[in-house]
Structure 1
Amino acid sequence: MSGNHGDAAAVDACGAELAIEARALVKRFDDFTAVDGVDISVPKGAIYGILGPNGAGKTTTLRMLLGIIDPDSGTRRVLGSDRPTEVARRIGYLPEERGLYPAMKATDAIAFLAALRGVPLAEGRRKGRELLEAHGLGYAADRQIRQLSKGMAQQVQLLGTLVHQPDLVVFDEPFSGLDALNQGKLERTIRDLAARGTTVIFSTHVIAHAERLCDQVAIIAGGKVPFAGPVDAARDRLRPQVRLETRVADGPWRAALPADARHEGAFWYFTLPESGIEPLLRALIEGEAGILSLSIERAGLHDAFVAIAGEAAARALEESAAEAAQGRQAKGGRR
């Protein structure tokens, strides 16, 4: 690779400057293809999610983007460089396999992680204390990591990931092992980072996090990416669903309902027609159906994932989320 770090930054089809651009990434381990032709474009300042079940290739993709491992084929540019390790000091990385030295004090642990990104130790300690205070953990600054709860230790490692004020933050399954309270704190942190112009990319097997946080997602299954783009574009792969309740149970107006309409309880359910809702409304009114309620709901990201990746991948995603939840409960029970 040429390493042309000084070239102009890449842009996407809409002209947005890209923090990450990857094309046709492939990675094999012996006879197993972990990543098979992945394309990803992450605009600067975006919150970007890589959504898929365990074993889908999420971690391998992130490690290739970071330069921890090299692809067998394909190209990648990160913060304008095709050699990601050259811009490592501008990146914050929180791996899925968390780990801090148990005997280190919280402040020293943050300073140590900052030093790996070129921050002098004294400055790292000062910034570490400031961050701990700002996040309500000032009382733990001089405690050893082994003296902290698991959630607090994870918070310390998160602060160590952010202490050098990176331009790009990469989280690998950041919500794994966190209780609901700490998941909420992490979501707020991610939004705050993006509000300051930091690019955030994270992997997850929990659709709710991606749907709440992400501007764009890459759906990955079996090492391939069948969809990458705005969350709304994924949801728009499926037409909105209509729920209708009428006062009159039958009449000529029923001929106006779409072919997929089904009656369940007091409601009719059907896909919004291509022609829109207005012609149907006219038919219902003219036929004196007596509209009691009518709602139109766009497809959620879960339904879009099923439509794009398939039932098997959706089941694997749900199993991954269930395993993670069981793991949290088991850890909580051992305390």
Structure 2
Amino acid sequence: MADNTLEFDGTTKRYGDVVALDDLSFDVRPGEIFGFVGSNGAGKTTAMRIALGVLAADGGAVRWRGAPITLEAARRIGYMPEERGLYPKMTVADQLEYLARLHGLSRADARAAVTEWTDRLGIGDRRTSEVGALSLGNQQRVQLAAALLHGPDLLVLDEPFSGLDPVAVDVMSGVLAERAAAGVPVLFSSHQLDLVQRLCDRVGIIRSGRLVACDTVDALRSTKRQVIVDVRGAWNPAVPGVDLVSTDGTRQVLALADDVDDQDVLRAALAAGPVTEFRPYRPTLTELFREVVTDEGAQP
């Protein structure tokens, strides 16, 4: 297999005076699960639609395997839109077989793939049901089956976990890990940042069309020096280079500048009263996300 990397290179998109994507650059590597996160309207869906050729970029490029994505190449991509793109009056089996045939599978191969993926995703007993009669969670499983049944070499999934129950989340998580282990690049967006933190090798945070952070989850969570300190007494952490992040009773989370010695902070805390807890703290991806988007007051 050729280098299976998906690459956004200075990709821009405007709608009149609105900048949807502003010099967006990152890549998704073979065998990697890449989480693409941002507030509503940040540009995630626009970027994914450009990758699929549904939208045209105004500048820059999107390349897969080192080349622009042609219609033929797009047939090897598994795409799951945020909005359900299914025909509600068709049965699950007919809908999926039709989509598989569009991707070039023979009738026999399409039917085999439909059976395999509906069984794996827990909707085998709903193959003869109309799509519109399914719960939203089961419709989401049909959407994922549609993205997988042709054995794609790249997965681009927009909010794939939306509306799923915990069992379905576990099934879908396992499928994504399996496809990545087979060398498939997996790009997915989600507002469920606990899942992103658990599943992804790397994460990109987008704000107002610009990528403002991109690294491994561990590296992103280590960008801020923070400590937890619990002082049994009134203490105002008025130490130069130390900022209060949050307070829960006497327990405080403090952010330390690079030149601050944490032992100086501990000594200041001990001077105020008994210290029952003092340790390094790594913010969760959700906390980091909120800090990154604070400038615009956005929420995940």
Shared fold (TM-score greater than 0.5)? yes
Aligned counterparts of 1:38 and 1:166: Cα–Cα separation in 2: 25
- CA RMSD in angstroms comes to 3.2
Match of 2:19 among 30, 33, 43: 33
Match of 2:155 among 169, 173, 181: 169
Specify the alignment match of 1:15 in structure 2.
Answer: none
Specify the alignment match of 2:35 in structure 1.
Answer: 49
C-alpha displacement at 1:96, in angstroms? 1.2
One-letter identity of the residue aligned with 1:171: L
Q: Is the radius of gyration larger for structure 1 or structure 2?
A: 1
Specify the alignment match of 1:326 in structure 2.
Answer: none
The 5 A counterparts of 1:170-189 are 170-189=156-175
Specify the alignment match of 2:276 in structure 1.
Answer: 292
TM-score (ref. length: structure 1): 0.76
Pair 1:170–1:153, CA change in 2 (3 A): same
C-alpha displacement at 1:120, in angstroms? 1.2
TM-score (ref. length: structure 2): 0.83
Specify the alignment match of 1:317 in structure 2.
Answer: 299
Match of 1:191 among 177, 184, 191: 177
Specify the alignment match of 1:305 in structure 2.
Answer: 289
Match of 1:127 among 99, 110, 113: 113
Match of 1:242 among 221, 228, 234: 228
Deviations 1:118-172 (A, max 9, x none): 1112211112112222333222222332333222222122112101111211111
Structure 2 gaps, min length 5: none
Pair 1:191–1:276, CA change in 2 (3 A): farther
Aligned counterparts of 1:175 and 1:41: Cα–Cα separation in 2: 22
Count of residues in Structure 1 that have an aligned counterpart in Structure 2? 296
C-alpha displacement at 1:230, in angstroms? 2.0
Specify the alignment match of 1:91 in structure 2.
Answer: 77
Q: Does the Cα contact within 8 Å between 1:78 and 1:84 map onto a contact in 2?
A: no
C-alpha displacement at 1:67, in angstroms? 1.8
Aligned counterparts of 2:13 and 2:255: Cα–Cα separation in 1: 40
Q: Percent identity?
A: 34
Pair 1:46–1:158, CA change in 2 (3 A): same
Structure 1 gaps, min length 5: 1-5, 10-17, 319-335
C-alpha displacement at 1:179, in angstroms? 4.2
2:60 matches 1:74: yes
Q: Does the Cα contact within 8 Å between 1:49 and 1:217 map onto a contact in 2?
A: yes
Deviations 1:169-192 (A, max 9, x none): 111122333345434433333233
Please give the secondary structure, in 1, of the residue aligned with 2:288: helix
Match of 1:102 among 88, 96, 106: 88
Deviations 1:248-280 (A, max 9, x none): x59xxx9x9954377974445433575665677
Q: Does the Cα contact within 8 Å between 1:37 and 1:74 map onto a contact in 2?
A: yes
Please give the secondary structure, in 1, of the residue aligned with 2:68: coil
Q: Bigger CA drift: 77-86 or 104-113?
A: 77-86
C-alpha displacement at 1:34, in angstroms? 1.4
